[in-house]
Amino acid sequence: MHKAILMLLLLVASSSAVAEWVKVGNNKTVTIYAHPTTIRKTTVNKVKMWSLYDYNTAQEPAGSRPYMSMKFHDEYNCKEEQSRILYSITHSENMGGGRSLYSRKHDMIWTPISPGSIFHNLWKFACGQRYP
């Protein structure tokens, strides 16, 4: 009986972790998700948030192992419509599953966000505006 309860709790916990990702856009190659519970205000006009890029086929960068998904910790300037990558992790399976293959801290500069792009959807989501 205890095993059945434990398995049920694990099933609920694992399905709720996936349910926390919210789809914000896609194209022929990738579907992009945002994680609303990770949004943190850092200053008056800036927030940080985790996003997930879930690829349709394995990405095979030269000299690296193939991966199916990638998580990013980004910072958004809500007033200036800019973003920068702070941290990234590649995963062997879809939706951040499987093994973590590579992680990297980034020191990126602020980049303008193109209106109508998937990245614009992430910016709008992080900054609390409507997205399609």
Q: Give residue-wise pLDDT tens across range 24-47.
A: 999 999 999 999 999 999 888 999
Q: What is the pLDDT of residues 38-77, one digit of tens each?
A: 999 988 899 999 999 999 999 998 888 999 999 999 999 9
> Which CATH number do you get for residue 94?
2.40.128.710
State mean pLDDT over 103-110: 91
Q: Does 14 fall in a domain?
A: no
Q: Does 35 fall in a domain?
A: yes
Q: What is the pLDDT of residue 4?
A: 38
Give CB contacts under 8 A, 24+ apart, made by 102-111.
102/64, 102/65, 102/67, 108/84, 109/84, 110/77, 110/80, 110/82, 110/83, 110/84, 111/82, 111/83, 111/84
Q: Does 67 fall in a domain?
A: yes
> Which residues partner with 85 through β-bridges?
74
Give the number of domains in the chain: 1
Q: Is 15 helix (H, G, I), strand (E, B) or coil?
A: helix
Mean pLDDT of the chain: 85
Residue 34 falls in which region: left (phi positive, over 0), alpha (psi -120 to 50) or beta: beta
Range of the domain at 115: 21-126
